[in-house]
Amino acid sequence: MKTHLLGKNGPEVSEVGFGAMGISDIYATSARKDDAGGEATIRAALDAGINLINTGDFYGMGHNEMLVGRAIAGRRDQVVLSVKFGALRDPKGLWLGHDCRPAAVKNFCAYSLQRLGVDHIDLYQPARLDHDVPIEETVGSIAQLIREGKVKYLGLSEVTPDILRRAHAVHPVTALEIEYSLSTRFIEGEILSVARELGVGIVAYGALSRGLLSGKLDGKFERGDFRSITPRYMAANLQANLQLVETLADIAESKGCTPAQLAIAWVLAQGDDIVPLIGTSNSTRLKENLGALNVRLSPADIALLDTAFPEGTFHGDRYPTAAMKFVAG
């Protein structure tokens, strides 16, 4: 496993990170009933050399943080712990908005430290922009946590270039967590340009477009799986997207790898400043995804993929329509 700095002045991280969300939330309900399996998958990721572990205080309403805390117990020095905060949910898990007021930031951090069983968080970031709170105030409160030793580095998630610049002017931003894959390429314009200008690393979630690029989705989702109400994975959109994935599978076969491995390898090939998250609750899937590290793409391979999957090729929004107002930065 190769390592490199996350951003210009950030921690040294593995070339891929582990996204723990799906163990507790959003996808299959069966995964949420297997805490032991989830913890084992996280430990397998650590054993494989992955050191960036990504979670959020609202994943399973605290469940994910407690699970991650148990999984990394006794191995804290091997982990760069990334935590998102600020998303609000009701007891049924429905999204209510965001709270990034300075007092709330300190409160969220205190609870996260307790649930994770650690004395500091390495990378701390608001899950989305709170449009009622100036980003300068939110960043200022995180900067105070950094001065107190409770947080080491500032991150952001899904924000515009303007917000990124404003935040960076208050305190250096180490990383921007944002969706990026062959099916979601909107960052390749101004967002990626500004991040590189400022020396901000990219933590790319959704490298497999929530399983779509694995070639294994069939549209049959468990009860509670948010993809069942998300345009990209519904009805005619899904069928059109699965036809695109067949093209990806053909290219992968010619490379001697799986579609998932090819999709992850493509993200890796976009630059050392981009760290894709591998999110899975299954150790077998983890092993397959790690095989992407052995896939070498030539300039011709990348050109072929870029031609086959330019931005806008895939059909449907990446979040449920009702949730879009909470997603946009």
Whether 174 contacts 154, CB under 8 Å: yes
Instruction: Give the integer Cα–Cα distance in Å for 284 and 198.
Output: 38
Among the listed residues 261, 260, 218, 220, the one whose alpha carbon sits nearest the alpha carbon of residue 241: 218
Among the listed residues 117, 119, 195, the one whose alpha carbon sits nearest the alpha carbon of residue 158: 195
* Residue 118: both structure tokens together: 């650690």
Residues that are catalytic? 59
Instruction: Give the integer Cα–Cα distance in Å for 268 and 28.
Output: 27
Instruction: Give the integer Cα–Cα distance in Å for 168 and 164.
Output: 6
Partner residues linked to 18 by β-bridges? 53, 278
**H-run or E-run covering 64:** helix 63-72
Residue type, 218: D
Strands 12-14 and 80-85: unpaired
